[in-house]
Structure 1
Amino acid sequence: MHPLRLRPPPASMDIQTQSSLLSAIVCLAIAISIQIRGRRSRLHLYFVLLNTVLAVWNLGFFLQQVSDPAMGFRIAMLAALAIPWCAMKFFATFLGTATKLTGVVTNTTAVVSLLLMPVIISPLFDNRWVNLLVLVYVFAVLYLCMFLIYKRLGATESRVESARLWYLVIGGLVAITFSLTDYLPKIDVFFPTVGTVFTVIFMFFLSQILVQYRLLDLTEFFGKIAVLGSLVSLLAAIYGLLIYFVGDQPGTLFFTSLVASFVVLILFEPLRIFVEAKIARYNLRERFDFGRQMAKLRREMANVLELGQMVTLIFGRFENMRRITHAALYLLEGDAQNYKCIGHVGPQPKSMLDAVSSRDFVDRLRDGETLVREAIEDDIHELRELGSSQENENAAEGLGQLAKLEGLMDLLDEIKAGVVFPILSDRRLIGFLTLWDARVREAYLQDELNAVQQVANQIAIVVENSKLVEKLQERDRLAALGEMAAGLAHEIRNPLGAIKGAAQLLQMDDAADNESAEFLQVIIEEVNRLNNVVSQFLDYARSERTSSENLDINPCIERTVQLVRNKAEEGMVEVKTRFATHLPQVRGDTERLTQVFLNLALNAIDAMAHSENKVLTLSSALGRRKEPGLGGTLVRDVVEIRFEDTGRGMTVEELRNIFIPFYTTKQTGTGLGLPICQRLVRSFGGALSVTSQPGVGTVFTVQLPIVGEEAITGSTLKRERRSDSKTSEANLAIARNTDSEGPGRETEET
């Protein structure tokens, strides 16, 4: 008989032989399932390699019992020598602990395996001591892999991840230990052959971790086992019934297998969906735990003021929830164009979402709509069915809707979302929260969606509160810095006075030559300039306690025009004024407001130094200002004073920093003029804003509240406009530049 030719199998195989064949088939199936998923990473490659080697190892033991014992044993031992290297490479990559030590151990296993392979091929393969050496070597390395996972536990901060790593360690130790006990019958010690069963279960557990991109919870894993077991039982019953009714005679066996295979392929997918849905539906404990965790999360977030603490709290809870496989939180960045992922559970979603390119997605969320993957899929299916039966115009419209919905589905895939909850603040979309249970379809009931939306609403409150806290902390920091710097400024002014006085005395001395007199003049001028800087800084640092009175704003603007006339003439600047008549009075201080207006006008003149067309326009009008309040957005009637120039304009960076103390674009500026102006305007309850376009010009707008005007909410404003729109429009027309003589008066000064 040819040595490689298999002998007919015995009439019956023992349990160890059958389990070896089963383990070989299942390990090979796991390797193929991972390979055909399209994974190309090193982790998946090492896992496929490890399962293939285990399959060959078990197949060798099977061949040893049913065929050529020597050849089967050689195959098993050669595969066993490859197991240590494959296991070390896989677990080191899996844990992300590819250190110098693991590299040395992996290289050592490769060298030892290569040195032992000639021994296995030689006649010494059947030596008891050689077999014992290989056995100790293989299982020692496998236990070392479990020790690497145990070491990873110490570096894991997440309690949930730590618990799941413990499951992995215990499962691996059980599988390795019981695989070792399978060799006890060889030394005449009876023990049940269960090692191959535990090995298969452990490898299936690892395969699901790779598929899900995360560590599995035990309940989730046993749920998958239950689904798989139910499917196996149902499909085996189908095959058994066909065999029973058709028969298993040699002539009909092929036909029976063919029919059974068709039935299995047709029923497999709907049966899988049906069984998974039933198991998820009857698992009431998970649903109860989901609602309880969400309620607890809302209570805990009520006392949170920092974003980092909120993110840790949210995703710590989500990791504990068995019904969340993917979750992510996106918040709006400062430029109001991008939404950034600041935390997630499961695979890494898209890190940044552009609001412009995802306009349909953002608009739906801004309208308060909760996006559900299954609902969008149903809409897509319905549009595809209706597309062929519609007329041309309706078909074109349907295709447009279909394209939008398909774009939404692609975006949901990118952000790994099954449900998207909007996070709104004052009708602004400041972020969104995503959840997904990828195991089942329609995983969440309506009351559960409502519970998550309440969490999203609480997130909006925390985000807004965190911004207020940051502002308060920044204000306190600046106040402390201002007090310290103010004291320092006072100390600087004292020696400045002495220096200036000494220089003036020396300057009065007739004996001083011309060169000395010139140097003394420089000293006096620089002392005056430094004293001016210190004075401006003290004006900015001291708390404002301005007196205020009812006043008309137009005379203040006219006085400003008179004060800047000489400098405007020197710079060849044309000054125009447009005053609205019948303006209501504002609350303020004439001297302080004149100081603000003068500073803004002089800055505008300086900005037009190199412009060809030099025009400064000062205007006043009635306007409205929106501001946040407890009852929503508040709207106030204000008087607006605008300073518009045709200078060089400002860049985005300059606009961002223009009101920061000591920031200046002038060579001789102090950077305190605009911050002082802003503080003075705010002291009267007003606001100072700026808009600019490079190469066109800049507009500074001062808004001052009207005397006796109460703020109203945006909803109240809308009701007033609906109830008496004609009267309101007439009154506004009169207040805005309209009187009996014309729309207003315009004067020009050159």
Structure 2
Amino acid sequence: MDLRTRTSLFCGALAIAIAISMLLRKRPRATQLWFAAFAANIGLWYLAQWLYLFVQANVWARSTAILAVLLPQFALRLFEALMPETERRSTLLSVAGILLGPVALLAVIGPVEHWWVRGLTFLYVFGLLAFGLGSLWARNRSSKSRGTKRRVRFMVLVGALAVTASLADFLWFIDISVPPIGAAFSILFLFVISESLIRQRFVDIYDVLAQVLLSAALASLLAAIFYVFVDLFGGFDTMYLAAFLATIVILVVFEPLREKASLAIHRVLFRERADLERAIERVRGQLVHVLDVGQLGSVVMGALENSRRATAAALYVREPVEANFKKLADFGPGVPERIEAAKIQPILEYLATVPSVLLEDEAHQASEARRAGHREEAEQKSRMLLSAEVLDAFRRGAIVAVRTKTTGLSGLLMLADDRASDVFSLDDQPILEELGLQIGVVLENSRQFRQMQVRDRLAVLGQMAAGLAHEVKNPLGAIKGAAQLLEDHREGTLDESAREFVSIILEEVDRLDRVVGSVLDYARPAPITMRDFNVGDVLERTCKMLGTEAHEATITVAVEPDLPPLRADAEQLRQVVINLVRNALQAMGGRGNVHVGARLTYRSGREGLEPWLEVSVRDEGPGIAAEVMQNLFVPFVTTKERGTGLGLAISQRIVQEMSGRIDVASSPGVGTTFSVLLPFGAEVARPGRPTSETAPASTGLSRVPSAP
């Protein structure tokens, strides 16, 4: 056999093998079925050429012509499946369908040995293939992904080379002899499309080169194994035994050989991507055993920094009420400490539909959309890029959404590299998205673990409180009763020193009774009863009652007019206000002003600006030290000489059970403000209301004077 005959046989067998491998995959899609048909058609076409060249029978020449007629039909439908025209049916497909009938009839019954029949078939096949590749190129221009455009251009280029080279090969059909180079390009074109379908993304030249090198390396190793066995046993009679043993050895070593060869080639051609993959793989292995959020940040940042794929990175977690993002861990310059959700709302809206975004890629897409006249798309991307300016180092970096099962978007992982442009590619996105999923799992597990710890702590505290109620309160009652009897008869029977000791006993009994009561309140909280009530009325009555404890201080109440009813537990809110006002009075030493206010405010939430009630208690005391602020709501931690350390812990638990939170702002020497934030219902109107930064000054003042 000459070179053309052997090439036709070899390429025909390869094309058939590629088609069969695609059909053997689990649940092939329509695109994969069209590709299998296209590859099988090319394979049969080359095999028909081989048979014609080998036996010189006219039946194989006619078979070659019929298969050539079918070739552009399968190709055009494959191109349409790869990048469909969504607005209308492809005109080229319609034209190809019209031409199919007469050209196929000519190939079946026409005189295929005449040059004009072969010439018409030649023009039909390569004309449609050329127009099909041109249509694929044109549709690729409207793609939103710059990476996809680059890969489709590569595929079209390989296809054009295959068509051009096959055009030269096809000249033998009209009695012009040229070297058979088109077959090799055709197989390469099939290989590029098959890899794109297997990986579910368009591949580039590096992917193809890596796969070709891998296949060549494996083929060489397996062929060497087969040769050794054949040479060892030798002879035609033992050929079957040699092939059998070689096949067993090949089956045993194929998987580990393929894995090792793939890893080695991957590290050589894709060193940066391999470094990132190894770093992410190490992180995922470590995060399996992590429950502490602080440790989560250090593990992730350490691995990313060691990978040398980023000059800056940060992990942000979402705050529970305002839904802003607070930095958990970072490395590199220009990392914001806190990100307000309202300022990056376009990015958050985009991340609601995709797991990650490459801002530099979005910038290129915005420019291309602007040039193509797609004004709405360009404006949308420009708004997102404009909002990214607040991210400093990450304004052109990669952002990965961190989601949990219970709270949805719970954090953001950001990466940037200022050493070059287009550092993070579309191939890096799946790797980073896997890391985002793992971080979300850790955040969810950490939240559940903290809840379990709280439940366990409350269970232990409840048991202790039950013991206190029985073992302490009853003896305290007896001690107090005896001390009161002594106090009632002190004038006739007790001297001055004894009367002083009786007073100390009564004071300490009252203090211990309050401690036991606080422990019981914390360990066995009363159930929350949600109902609508007027916040102003509750605050007025509460502060009026507290006026008897104010001594030389003054309590001022300011409630915003027309405040909507709040759906919460009025008695529990009253208890919170009592705790906060008493703390304020004690902090000022019974002198000064305590300002209690209530207003409607709007905070950034998961669905934009959301209405909240803000009840503030502001004093004019010495303020709270920074080291105390860290443990402000920890049970049994107090700075008071006679405090229980449970008032703020109880208040925080009550507010959290009503889906709110307590904020604290303190300035040394100026005073402290506690802000209780509780959500209003969805019936409260949102448009036209001011935000928390621009809320109007409170009106409806009332003053509660100190007791006379």
Q: 1:195 aligns with which of 151, 172, 182?
A: 182
Taking every aligned residue pair, what percent have the same amino acid on both sides? Answer: 20
The residue aligned with 2:436 is 420
Structure 1 position 117, deviation (Å): 2.8
Deviations 1:239-271 (A, max 9, x none): 11111111240x222222222222222211111
Closer/same/farther in 2, CA of residues 256 and 584 from structure 1, 3 Å limit: farther
Please tell me whether residue 28 in structure 1 is matched to residue 16 in structure 2: yes
Closer/same/farther in 2, CA of residues 639 and 422 from structure 1, 3 Å limit: farther
The residue aligned with 2:52 is 64
Consecutive unaligned residues in structure 1, runs of 5 or more: 1-12, 321-343, 369-413, 432-555, 562-574, 609-613, 626-637, 644-655, 661-688, 691-700, 738-750
Please tell me whether residue 132 in structure 1 is matched to residue 119 in structure 2: yes
Structure 1 position 27, deviation (Å): 1.3
Please tell me whether residue 242 in structure 1 is matched to residue 234 in structure 2: no
The residue aligned with 1:86 is 74
The residue aligned with 1:355 is 405
Closer/same/farther in 2, CA of residues 85 and 145 from structure 1, 3 Å limit: same
Q: 1:621 aligns with which of 578, 589, 608?
A: 578
Please tell me whether residue 704 in structure 1 is matched to residue 690 in structure 2: no
| SS of structure 2 residue aligned to 1:126 | coil
Structure 1 position 659, deviation (Å): 8.7
Task: Report if aligned partners of 1:60, 1:74 keep a CA contact under 8 Å in 2.
Answer: no
The residue aligned with 1:42 is 30
Q: 2:358 aligns with which of 291, 315, 325?
A: 315
Amino acid at match of 1:198: F
The residue aligned with 2:246 is 260
The residue aligned with 2:669 is none
Q: 2:214 aligns with which of 220, 227, 244?
A: 227
Structure 1 position 67, deviation (Å): 3.3
Task: Report if aligned partners of 1:165, 1:215 keep a CA contact under 8 Å in 2.
Answer: yes
Closer/same/farther in 2, CA of residues 599 and 115 from structure 1, 3 Å limit: closer
Structure 1 position 129, deviation (Å): 0.9
Closer/same/farther in 2, CA of residues 560 and 118 from structure 1, 3 Å limit: closer
Q: 1:718 aligns with which of 624, 631, 653?
A: 631
CA distance in structure 1 between the aligned counterparts of 2:124 and 2:539, rounded to whole angstroms: 97
Q: 1:95 aligns with which of 83, 93, 114?
A: 83
Closer/same/farther in 2, CA of residues 186 and 302 from structure 1, 3 Å limit: same
Closer/same/farther in 2, CA of residues 260 and 735 from structure 1, 3 Å limit: closer
CA distance in structure 2 between the aligned counterparts of 1:253 and 1:55, rounded to whole angstroms: 29
Closer/same/farther in 2, CA of residues 623 and 224 from structure 1, 3 Å limit: farther
| SS of structure 1 residue aligned to 2:578 | strand
Structure 1 position 164, deviation (Å): 2.0
The residue aligned with 1:106 is 93
Deviations 1:329-365 (A, max 9, x none): xxxxxxxxxxxxxxx99xxx9x99661399xxx99x9
CA distance in structure 1 between the aligned counterparts of 2:243 and 2:334, rounded to whole angstroms: 59
CA distance in structure 2 between the aligned counterparts of 1:731 and 1:703, rounded to whole angstroms: 23
Closer/same/farther in 2, CA of residues 352 and 415 from structure 1, 3 Å limit: farther
Structure 1 position 200, deviation (Å): 0.3
Closer/same/farther in 2, CA of residues 143 and 599 from structure 1, 3 Å limit: closer
Closer/same/farther in 2, CA of residues 289 and 140 from structure 1, 3 Å limit: farther
CA distance in structure 2 between the aligned counterparts of 1:16 and 1:734, rounded to whole angstroms: 92
CA distance in structure 2 between the aligned counterparts of 1:229 and 1:201, rounded to whole angstroms: 13
Q: 1:74 aligns with which of 55, 62, 83?
A: 62
The residue aligned with 1:470 is none
Deviations 1:692-730 (A, max 9, x none): xxxxxxxxx733122224245587533997996595672
The residue aligned with 1:165 is 152
Q: 2:196 aligns with which of 209, 225, 228?
A: 209
The residue aligned with 1:294 is 310
Structure 1 position 212, deviation (Å): 1.2
Structure 1 position 281, deviation (Å): 2.8
Closer/same/farther in 2, CA of residues 705 and 108 from structure 1, 3 Å limit: same
The residue aligned with 1:485 is none
Structure 1 position 79, deviation (Å): 1.1
Amino acid at match of 2:178: F
Task: Report if aligned partners of 1:177, 1:195 keep a CA contact under 8 Å in 2.
Answer: yes
Structure 1 position 61, deviation (Å): 0.6
Task: Report if aligned partners of 2:146, 2:361 keep a CA contact under 8 Å in 1.
Answer: no
Amino acid at match of 1:156: S
CA distance in structure 2 between the aligned counterparts of 1:125 and 1:154, rounded to whole angstroms: 40
CA distance in structure 2 between the aligned counterparts of 1:430 and 1:309, rounded to whole angstroms: 27
Closer/same/farther in 2, CA of residues 62 and 355 from structure 1, 3 Å limit: same
Deviations 1:110-161 (A, max 9, x none): 3422323333232612222111111110011110111012212432354333
CA distance in structure 2 between the aligned counterparts of 1:734 and 1:118, rounded to whole angstroms: 93
Task: Report if aligned partners of 1:21, 1:59 keep a CA contact under 8 Å in 2.
Answer: yes
Q: Where do residues 133-532 of structure 1 align in structure 2 (5 Å cutoff)? A: 133-185=120-172, 189-249=176-236, 251-283=237-269, 286=272, 294-295=310-311, 306=344, 308=346, 314-315=357-358, 355-356=405-406, 418-420=434-436
Closer/same/farther in 2, CA of residues 733 and 352 from structure 1, 3 Å limit: closer
CA distance in structure 1 between the aligned counterparts of 2:573 and 2:8, rounded to whole angstroms: 92
CA distance in structure 2 between the aligned counterparts of 1:558 and 1:92, rounded to whole angstroms: 68
Amino acid at match of 1:253: M
Structure 1 position 46, deviation (Å): 1.0
The residue aligned with 1:404 is none
Q: Where do residues 497-576 of structure 1 align in structure 2 (5 Å cutoff)? A: 560=540
Closer/same/farther in 2, CA of residues 558 and 95 from structure 1, 3 Å limit: closer
Task: Report if aligned partners of 1:24, 1:59 keep a CA contact under 8 Å in 2.
Answer: yes
Structure 1 position 93, deviation (Å): 1.8
Task: Report if aligned partners of 1:81, 1:113 keep a CA contact under 8 Å in 2.
Answer: yes
What's the C-alpha RMSD, in Å, of the aligned pairs?
5.3
Deviations 1:383-415 (A, max 9, x none): xxxxxxxxxxxxxxxxxxxxxxxxxxxxxxx99
Structure 1 position 285, deviation (Å): 5.1
Task: Report if aligned partners of 2:218, 2:257 keep a CA contact under 8 Å in 1.
Answer: yes
**Paired positions, count:** 434
Amino acid at match of 2:158: G
Closer/same/farther in 2, CA of residues 295 and 216 from structure 1, 3 Å limit: farther
CA distance in structure 1 between the aligned counterparts of 2:571 and 2:637, rounded to whole angstroms: 40
Task: Report if aligned partners of 1:623, 1:639 keep a CA contact under 8 Å in 2.
Answer: no
TM-score, length of structure 2 as denominator length: 0.51
Deviations 1:73-127 (A, max 9, x none): 2222111111111111110121122554x63432332342232333323261222
Task: Report if aligned partners of 1:583, 1:622 keep a CA contact under 8 Å in 2.
Answer: no
Task: Report if aligned partners of 1:297, 1:317 keep a CA contact under 8 Å in 2.
Answer: no
CA distance in structure 1 between the aligned counterparts of 2:561 and 2:164, rounded to whole angstroms: 87
Structure 1 position 191, deviation (Å): 3.0
Consecutive unaligned residues in structure 2, runs of 5 or more: 277-306, 315-331, 364-396, 414-429, 447-535, 583-592, 599-606, 651-708
Task: Report if aligned partners of 2:635, 2:645 keep a CA contact under 8 Å in 1.
Answer: no
Structure 1 position 584, deviation (Å): 9.1
TM-score, length of structure 1 as denominator length: 0.48
